[in-house]
Amino acid sequence: MYDPASAIKGKQAVFEAHPENASVKALTDLATDAKYDRAELTITVARESIVAAAMAVQQAGYNFLEDVTAVDWYPSEPRFQITYHILSHSLKERIRLAVRLDGDAAALDSITSVWPSANFYEREVFDLFGVHFGGHPNLRRIMMPEDWNGHPLRKDYPVEGYR
């Protein structure tokens, strides 16, 4: 069974435990927090530095963006966690980048300039969570109808919808 004590938390502890990891080396300056839990590495970066962080891990060999999604931690703040899963075909490992956003400032820069495949994923997050991606070439709803009210995957949106 899972032992919560096995998780390593905090930037310094994780970076000391995994000094050889390519993403750890690349993000030494940009990371604000880190977690190594269940053999998965999560590195948190600040909202302003997401594009720089994406470029840094791409340089470090993480060549494939798997997905961009979000978690709504309503009502706690910072409310949104934007999650990026990035895979390296050569290193055969995956890292998770996370950005935390406040509910009243749910906006960050788009990484479509680094990976064009982020296009649909960011549109999906915009549609279902209402997070704005600056610099996105085509930020419109993708799943829901254009005239839909609200963002269904937010936690304050009822499961059965508005009636």
Partner 1 sequence: MTPPVEEITGPTAIDPGVDDVFANSARNRQNTPPQDQTMVINMGPQHPSTHGVLRLVVEIDGETVVSLAPDIGYLHTGIEKTCEAKFYQQVVPLTDRIDYLCPMTNNLAYCLAVEKLLGLEIPERAIYLRVLFNELTRIQSHLVWLGTHAMDIGALTVFLYCFREREELLRIFEAVAGQRMMTSYVRVGGLSLEPPRDIYEKIRTFLKGFPAHVDEYEGLLQTNPIWMNRLKGVGYLSPEDAIALGVTGPPLRASGVDFDVRRDMPYSGYEKFQFNVPASKVGDVWARYIVRMQEFRESVKICLQALDGLPEGNIVADAPKIILPNREQMKTQMESLIHHFKIVTEGFAVPAGEVCSSVEAPHGMMNYYVVSDGTAKPYRVHMRNPGFATLQALETMCKGRLLADVVAVIGSIDIVLGEIDR
Q: Is 123 exposed, middle or buried (0-12, 13-18, 19+ CB in 10 A)?
A: buried
Both structure tokens of 117: 């495949």
Give the range of 10-18, 19-27, 48-56, 133-141 binding partner 1 by CB under 8 A: 133-141
Q: Say if CB 50 and CB 113 are below 8 A apart.
A: no
Both structure tokens of 15: 């970076």
**Minimum Å distance from CB 163 to partner 1?**
6
d(CA 47, CA 14): 21
- Among 12, 20, 75, 159, indicate the residue that binds partner 1 (CB under 8 A): 159
Would you count residue 33 as binding partner 1 (CB under 8 A)?
Answer: no
Name the 3-class secondary structure at 51: helix
> Under 8 Å CB-to-CB from 81, ≥6 apart: which residues?
70, 71, 73, 98, 99, 100, 101
Would you count residue 8 as binding partner 1 (CB under 8 A)?
Answer: no
Would you count residue 37 as binding partner 1 (CB under 8 A)?
Answer: yes
Both structure tokens of 102: 């406040």
- Among 11, 46, 52, 63, indicate the residue that binds partner 1 (CB under 8 A): 63
Would you count residue 137 as binding partner 1 (CB under 8 A)?
Answer: yes
- Among 33, 61, 94, 103, indicate the residue that binds partner 1 (CB under 8 A): 94
Would you count residue 89 as binding partner 1 (CB under 8 A)?
Answer: yes
List contacts with partner 1 (CB under 8 A). 1-4, 7, 37-38, 40, 42, 63-67, 69, 71-72, 83, 85, 89, 92-94, 96, 115-117, 119-121, 126-128, 130, 132, 137-153, 157-159, 162-163
